[in-house]
Structure 1
Amino acid sequence: MEDMVGGLEFGSRVRGCLIGGAVGDALGAPIEFDSIAGIRAVHGQDGIADFVHDRRGRVGLITDDTQMTLFTVEGLIRAGVRAAAGEPDGEVSVVRDAYLRWLDTQRYGSPPPADGRVRSGRLREQEWLYDQRAPGNACLSGLRQDLGATAAPGAAGAVNPDSKGCGTVMRSAPFGLAFRDPRRAFELAAACAQITHGHPTGYLAAGAFAALVSSVAYGGTLAGAVRDALALLSEQPSNGETTAALDAAVELAAEGNPTPETVERLGGAWVAEEALAIAVYCALVHEDDAERALLLAVNHSGDSDSTGAVCGNILGALHGEAAVPRRWVSRLEGRDTITALADDLTAWLTTGHADPDAYPGF
């Protein structure tokens, strides 16, 4: 893979995607459960304009959205390492192992002792990750169940078959970074979404998001990426909810007049298709201004951290790390770890090299 994609360093797109997502996550987290009326009452008519203190007085902290995204990256690198070594276990299984390491961060206060294939590698040793940040119930319960086979297209998966929460979408940007082919990104993201969420809309929204990220990360336009994602969705049974949500986002973006009230016409983002639609809408209406897009993506009555994260993933992959305001990046929790992981992914994708201590091949 070439180092430059669409006139921009590929590594900058990867860092932009992961850092942008984390910044959007941290912006939205303190107001995640607040109504827009409540947000305005505290922060003024325009809502928040910067990082604000959370309920424990802290600023710039990420949530489970970014935590799980980081473990997705690690899982994808390790799946590639195993495949290159001639020991493929199946990508879904290796990504699930990564999510089990994330589950440890929600169950323990510090890294438990190393123990074979699951409890290994460097990311699990990051002490700052061992903190519950409002993890989704389906993510937690899904990882405590046995992994079933991937569902036939449009059918419910074996794990949490009625769940379509946004926990599928908010962690799926790395699939788009890992594959130049949007179809491949779509397919693996949808399969890995079923590790925890079996509802077709939940996993198809994740697939569409990964396809969109793939398109922009590898030099495509945002409008073209949305069209490509919709085209891939059209091939899938049970695509109706996700397709309708994305169509609505495109139509609203064409109208202009972006406001929190307009955002809320797309829903509350607690479910996958709404989170994707709101993030895409905000990215479309402020495509060349990540700061305005991210503030629009979080100032509403719904799942502000997830919509902020997904919007940040999209615009970071499109424009690179320079598009993400430095005044936010400088105060972001875990930024060094996130940047290092982004660079590890870039190195793996461009050179095929991965540190065996961080990404053991077993």
Structure 2
Amino acid sequence: MRSQRVIVRAMTNTAWGRTEQQDFRSRVRGCLLGGAIGDALGASIEFDSLDAIRQKHGPSGLTDYAQAYGRRGAITDDTQMTLFTVDGLIRAQARRDLGAWHPPTDLHAAYRRWYTTQHNWGPDERDPETGWLAGEEWLYAQRAPGKACLSGLSDDRMGTLADPKNPDSKGCGAVMRSAPFGLLVGWEPHLVFQLAAECGAQTHGHPTGYLSAAAFAVLVHGVVRGESLPAATQRALSLLATRPGHEETTQALQRALAQVRVGVPAPERVAELGEGWVAEEALAMGLYCALVAEDVAHGLLLAVNHGGDSDSTGSITGNLLGALLGDTALPPAWLTELEGRGTILELADDFALETTHGSALHTADHVAPGWQARYPRT
């Protein structure tokens, strides 16, 4: 495992060294691409039982992409919303120079841009101020979006922790989109936790819904900064303990840690943690699969072969393993067929560029024209 000193040293200096930049970019790419691969693997079996999966794909279950939404390697709403999370974070950081900095508002605007893709035929009539990601036509497809995500973003009112949207909802829709918050390596963990929770409450107002999203962001944050996944989990547990309503999420993470010690990893052991439709189960299942993974492929196949929300648990596991190991650890054959790979890479590199060279791209008085076109500050 790469040393924590690589990223942490870069955060404490005024400039990132070349090695630090390369390591960080690899982890950002790995997190986003890994999550998308897990999402695409699970897309074709999301609503199947484990018996049905084995009957269709053999005793080992699914071992490769299968047809979903008319193609192999198709992503779902999990990856769509994750990409708009990245877009919102870049926009928020670019706007910081202006003194009107409120990241939850920028993320809400990004999620509303995603909401538009679920209702418009395409980007032909979009406002140029929406930036480049909303112009990607392939994102204008409905891939089983969650009801809470759609209803929570259906109007201009932004849910907050004090007044959340869908206060009874603890589905996994906030968790599956929250890995990018963990890529804010210059932030302290408690701030990453807070931002992810605030943005989770925009659609999933039950404490388990937004606290599971916050805990997931802290897991990603820890491994991107070079911590082990068990150490990052302990940090997440410590932060959870300070929040009202944390019990379900805390217990789920503790069950995932305990399950590692039970025996040889198998789909039946994953299923003992739940089905993944609700936030804390999806988080626990994804974490367990990442903890026991022999490599990325092993972890992802374990994460999707169960009778539950396979695309979300696959996405969570892929985010974690990609952030931990970097993009070069991802299976090349799955990368080649992944829908939207070019867009995901482009967005990942833009996030890394903003993080490492933001001061060269924009100031209070000036923004590079190309950056303004891609991520408008207005």
TM-score range, shorter chain: over 0.9
2:321 aligned to which of 315, 319, 330: 315
2:367 maps to 1:357:
no
1:29 aligned to which of 29, 43, 68: 43
User: Hey, what does 2:7 align to over in structure 1?
Assistant: none
User: Hey, what does 2:141 align to over in structure 1?
Assistant: 131
CA 1:73–1:7 in structure 2 vs 1: closer, same or farther (change >3 Å)? Answer: closer
1:198 aligned to which of 205, 209, 214: 205
Q: Point out where structure 1 has 5 or more consecutive residues left out of the alignment.
A: none
CA contact (8 A) 1:3 1:10 kept: no
CA contact (8 A) 2:152 2:159 kept: no
TM-score (norm 2): 0.90
CA contact (8 A) 1:92 1:191 kept: yes
User: Hey, what does 2:98 align to over in structure 1?
Assistant: 85
CA contact (8 A) 1:72 1:174 kept: yes
Distance across 1 between alignment mates of 2:299 and 2:20 = 22
Distance across 2 between alignment mates of 1:142 and 1:27 = 27
User: Hey, what does 1:141 align to over in structure 2?
Assistant: 151
Counterpart amino acid of 2:90? Answer: I
CA contact (8 A) 2:43 2:310 kept: yes
Cα offset for 1:14?
Answer: 0.2
Counterpart amino acid of 1:114? Answer: R
CA contact (8 A) 2:152 2:202 kept: yes
2:150 is paired with a residue whose SS is helix
User: Hey, what does 1:59 align to over in structure 2?
Assistant: 72
Cα offset for 1:114?
Answer: 3.3
Cα offset for 1:282?
Answer: 0.2
Q: Point out where structure 2 has 5 or more consecutive residues left out of the alignment.
A: 1-10, 363-370
2:105 maps to 1:98:
no
2:373 is paired with a residue whose SS is coil
Cα offset for 1:4?
Answer: 6.8
CA contact (8 A) 2:38 2:311 kept: yes
Aligned residues: 353
Counterpart amino acid of 1:275? Answer: A
Distance across 2 between alignment mates of 1:356 and 1:9 = 26
CA 1:203–1:3 in structure 2 vs 1: closer, same or farther (change >3 Å)? Answer: farther
Cα offset for 1:359?
Answer: 0.4
Moved more, 273-282 or 352-361: 352-361
Runs of 4+ in 1 over 6 A off after TM superposition: 4-8
Distance across 2 between alignment mates of 1:148 and 1:77 = 19
Cα offset for 1:7?
Answer: 11
CA contact (8 A) 2:38 2:317 kept: yes
CA 1:277–1:95 in structure 2 vs 1: closer, same or farther (change >3 Å)? Answer: same
User: Hey, what does 1:109 align to over in structure 2?
Assistant: 121
Counterpart amino acid of 1:183? Answer: H
2:27 maps to 1:13:
yes
Fraction of identical pairs, as percent: 54
Q: CA RMSD in A?
A: 1.7
TM-score (norm 1): 0.94
Counterpart mapping for 1:128-207 below 5 A? 128-148=138-158, 150-152=160-162, 157-180=163-186, 181-207=188-214
Distance across 1 between alignment mates of 2:210 and 2:41 = 26
1:107 is paired with a residue whose SS is coil
CA contact (8 A) 1:6 1:219 kept: no
Cα offset for 1:149?
Answer: 5.8
Distance across 2 between alignment mates of 1:44 and 1:149 = 45
Counterpart amino acid of 1:78? Answer: R
CA contact (8 A) 1:5 1:219 kept: no
CA 1:270–1:91 in structure 2 vs 1: closer, same or farther (change >3 Å)? Answer: same
2:338 aligned to which of 328, 332, 335: 332
User: Hey, what does 1:215 align to over in structure 2?
Assistant: 222
Distance across 2 between alignment mates of 1:83 and 1:274 = 35
Distance across 2 between alignment mates of 1:149 and 1:133 = 24
2:318 maps to 1:302:
no
Distance across 2 between alignment mates of 1:8 and 1:128 = 29
CA contact (8 A) 1:182 1:212 kept: no
